[in-house]
Structure 1
Amino acid sequence: MRRYGLSDGQWEQIKDLLPGRKGHVGGTAADNRLLIEAVLYRYRAGIPWRDLPVRFGDWKNVHRRLRRWCESGVIERIFRHLAADHDNEYMMIDSTIVRAHQHSAGVYKKGGGSQAAGRSRGGLTTKIHAIVDAAGKAVALSLTPGQRTDITEAEPLLDEVDPEVFIADTAYDAGPLIEKREERGITPVIPSRKNRIFLRKTRFSIYKKRNIIERFFARLKQFRGIATRYDKLKSTFLIAVQFVFAIIGIN
């Protein structure tokens, strides 16, 4: 296996989800694996597209096909398919901030909010919100500008999952959010904020498992093209995050 390439096991799990496969409507693509490995290499190494090694072919073709897959939802379908096989015992939610490189800085002047870029204390940033299961697999995600608070994305993400236990830190300690989870039969494990009059009991034996999502984000940021955002468009960066989430989940 080449550096940053897919293992045969990883390829077997995603090859039948790609367009251009044998028996699929349209032409048959002989280099789907090469394209996937080119995208993986680019985001793992954090290099400009034009610096892709020549073994991947013309970088313009790689980028063009990736954008085509983005618009047709190919990468999102792969992520959703792999995320469907998750552990419902308990899940956890959190977010992490990534700095936007100067090459993507133009999105802020041209409607940064719509491109999930915004000004925070770290400068121009994007925030990645994710829900991870007990096995450390991402099952839901979204992108927002860096200054957006965590709680704003909790409701739509949690509507996508149905765990027995939901773990989060104090940033998610909000009455309506907790009450809705309890109505659905989900047990929230969230420490109370210090300014609460009545503190809830927290099962810290379960809460300590939240380190799973922290370790997940640490693995995510080994991909230099994710730890620093180089993509101008939210849609391109989103499919990159979805793609890396999927690959991490099948390692």
Structure 2
Amino acid sequence: MGRGDLSDREWARLEPHLPKNTGRGGRWACHRKVINGILFRQRTGIPWRDLPTRFGKWKTCHDRHRRWSADGTWEKLLRAVQADAGMEGRIDWSMVSVDSTSCRVHQHADGAHQCPVRIPGRRRRPAHHRPDEAIGRSRGGLTTRIHLASDGGCRPLAVLITPGQWGDAPQMIPVLNRIRVPRPAGGRPRTRPAHLCGDRAYSSRRNRCCLRRRQIRHTIPERRDQRANRQRRGSRGGRPSGFDQTRYARRNEVERTINALKGSCAVATRYDKRAYVFHGTVTLAAIRLWLRA
């Protein structure tokens, strides 16, 4: 076993959920060696063609990672390891935090499909990236934003990929809707945490109304302009939202989760051209965190 490969304990947790051989050819042979090769590339960020020969053919690792990112296999594996953790009582639902982080887009990934923009009065037609490719231009250049929700144990519950210039507040509800931890004993998947924590970027009337409707207690500080507008309206502005400073101190858990994810070079910098492949890379990093817990 090389440095960064799956240990025997991690492999024992992951192996029962991997796809089985179906039909002729035996194309899913050597799962462990191929996954170790994908993890090596994710940890180091090297080009696929530079994978060491001990992982087999580089194209086998590349094609399997791309195929499992496209058909949702990585997502299914993440749900499976979360279900095992939930059955063992290793998920801390008492506090779930949301946050986001920006990742620089490498020049090799700046080749996703682009759409021309027609500007009246100008002959030149510049191009911009499609929103579904999750590449946006912000102050730092071309970036991709990762939105995630983590439990109290600093492990990701849900991940969402958007262009870098998209804000945090509109993505809070989509991230919460992605939290679905199956229950192997039966019943509906668990989707609702006991308490939610977020910074000022998630303070909006739409988000607070959604959390109240789902009966989720939350600790989100109110922005200054929102507080001034509420006070200006008087009794029509409503009551101030509650804020617990002690609970808000636990927001560092999601920041530590982000640091653990960005410990992988292929997550800290986006080398994947297509958005669904990069989403699979981030999901695999989240699976590794759950296996190590």
Q: TM-score range by the shorter chain?
A: over 0.9
1:219 equivalent to 2:260? Answer yes
Deviation at residue 8 of structure 1 after TM alignment: 1.2
Q: Does 1:136 align with 2:154?
A: yes
Is residue 2:55 matched to residue 1:50? no
Unaligned stretches of 5+ in structure 1? none
The percent of aligned pairs where both chains have the same amino acid is 38
CA contact (8 A) 1:112 1:145 kept: no
Distance 1:249 1:211 in 2: 18
> Which residues of structure 2 form unaligned runs of 5+?
116-128, 180-190, 231-239
Runs of 4+ with deviation above 6 angstroms: none
The one-letter code matched in structure 2 to 1:7 is: S
8 Å CA contact 2:150–2:158 kept in 1: the answer is yes
Q: Give the Å deviation of 1:30.
A: 3.6
Q: Name the structure 1 match of 2:103.
A: 98
Paired residues, number: 248
Shift of 1:29: 3.7
Alignment match, 1:204: 245
| Residue in 1 that maps onto 2:118 | none
2:73, 2:155 → 1: CA distance?
Answer: 19
Listed one character per residue, the Cα deviations across residues 146-180 of structure 1 (whole Å, up to 9, x for unaligned) are 00001121112223330111000000001121122
In the TM superposition, residue 108 of structure 1 has moved relative to its aligned partner by 6.4
Task: Answer yes or no: is 1:179 the counterpart of 2:209.
Answer: yes
Instruction: Answer yes or no: is 1:25 the counterpart of 2:22.
Output: yes
Label 1:235 to 1:28 Cα distance change in 2 as closer, same or farther (>3 A). closer
Say which one has the larger Rg. Answer: 2
TM, length-normalised to structure 1: 0.93
TM-score calculated relative to the size of structure 2: 0.80
Deviates more, 1:188-197 or 1:106-115: 106-115
Matched, 1:155 2:155: no
**In 2, distance between residues paired with 1:136 and 1:247?**
12
C-alpha RMSD of matched pairs (Å): 1.6
- 1:191 aligns to what SS in structure 2? coil
CA contact (8 A) 2:219 2:247 kept: yes
SS, match of residue 6 in structure 2 = coil
**Residues 213 and 60 of structure 1: CA distance in aligned 2, closer, same or farther (over 3 Å):** same
